Chain A
Amino acid sequence: MTESSRDAFLAGVRAVAPIIVGIVPFGLVAGAAAVNAGLTLLDAVGLSVVVFAGASQLAAIGLFGDGAPLALVVVTVLVINLRMVMYSASIAPELLDEPRRWRTLEAYLLTDQAYALSVTRFERDPGTNRRWFYLGAAAPLWVVWQVCTVIGAVVGARVPPWLPLDFAVPLTFLALLVPAVEGRATGIAALVGGGLATVGTSLPLEAGLMAGALAGVLAGLVAERVVGPDAVGRDGDGPGGGHA
């Protein structure tokens, strides 16, 4: 690792640090839920390491606990994680120069948080060292997630009821969403995506999330034909902008 790759890695670590707040309770709950559903500690850790995707893990644990058919567990996990096809496509142009073995590692570590942090950072600061910033943001999430799964599975998870830690995860995404809205076209993409996902909250398998996201992208494309594309750029959009 050269000096500048280390700087990029540390910048990724710094960017992800506050997000860990939301990961810790989520991981504890995933570990505790796995054991409560009748899985062994090794099963719980295996699920966390092999699948490494929180919402789908919780769904799988629920189904395991109900004694559901294994094929249903697998399909449920895959459908919930389908949104990551969009992350893969969206971040691929940034990582295409990477050798395949690095891209394999980067694919394994791809999460909502690592994706959102990296994509907003690369847009704002095109000179960022792609590989090392991404790994700096993604790797701590992996480590903390695994550690919390083990702790949750061993000691159980007891979050004080007055502390709304589950709210930290949507707040994280909110903090990344606001700067991602750069003008009218991305604003319309967000409105349509968020609106449709809200209407579809009762749908199974996170279908509302997927439908909202796809409709949002389409709405953005339609909107840019009407209002023109947003000024995609780094120069201080919004009062807090401009700091790299």
Chain B
Amino acid sequence: MSPPPGPQVWLAIVAAGLGTFLIRASFLFLFERMGGVPPRLERALAYVPAAVLAALVVPAIVAPDGTASVVGNDRLLAGALAALVAWRTESVLATIVVGMVALVVLGQVGVV
């Protein structure tokens, strides 16, 4: 099958884009109407970075193919090494470089 012709594709693009913008804008404008951020909600929001980032990272490292695997999973070892670098250096660049190099080397060597 092929995509529908241009105008219809654009209808979907604009609807998806508008909706995505409203999602992004939601609380940037809602809190103003609420007269600030309710204190209890603000406490909860303190956990958003750790929870969301972990939910983005852990599956990509532990289950790169969709199912969790430890044995034969190069990304797990490379990710662990990168996490150590992130902790010691707090450098995004160093973390990316070490993680990528480790994964390439592990793939070449075929350790696990």
List A residues at the B interface (Cβ < 8 Å): 15, 17-19, 21-22, 37-40, 43, 46-47, 50-53, 56, 60, 64-67, 70, 73-74, 77-78, 81-93, 95-96, 100, 103-104, 106-108, 110, 112, 116, 119-120, 162-165, 167-181, 185-187, 189-199, 201-202, 208-210, 212-221, 224, 229, 232, 238-241, 243
The 0/1 profile, CB within 8 Å of A marked 1, for residues 20-32 of chain B is 1101111111111
CA distance A73 to B20 in the complex (A): 13
List B residues at the A interface (Cβ < 8 Å): 1-4, 6, 8-17, 19-21, 23-32, 36-37, 41-63, 66-68, 75, 78-79, 82-83, 86-93, 95-96, 99-100, 103-104, 107
Contacting residues, chain A, for B95 (C-beta < 8 A): 171-172, 174-175, 178
CA distance A108 to B17 in the complex (A): 10
CA distance A133 to B36 in the complex (A): 22
Contacting residues, chain A, for B46 (C-beta < 8 A): 186, 220, 229, 232
Query: Closest residue to B25 on the A side, CB-wise?
Result: A107
CA distance A116 to B56 in the complex (A): 12
Contacting residues, chain A, for B61 (C-beta < 8 A): 170, 174
Summed over the interface, the residue pairs from A and B with CB atoms below 8 Å come to a total of: 314
Q: Closest approach, in angstroms, between the C-beta of B13 and any C-beta of chain A?
A: 5
Q: Closest approach, in angstroms, between the C-beta of A222 and any C-beta of chain B?
A: 10
Q: Closest approach, in angstroms, between the C-beta of A178 and any C-beta of chain B?
A: 4
A–B pairs, 22, beta carbons within 8 Å: A38-B3, A46-B10, A78-B19, A85-B23, A87-B24, A88-B26, A89-B31, A93-B45, A96-B32, A167-B99, A171-B100, A174-B53, A174-B82, A177-B57, A181-B50, A193-B50, A194-B55, A198-B58, A201-B59, A216-B51, A216-B55, A240-B88
- Tell me the dominant secondary structure on chain A's binding face: helix
Q: Closest approach, in angstroms, between the C-beta of B64 and any C-beta of chain A?
A: 8
B90, A164: Cβ atoms under 8 Å?
no
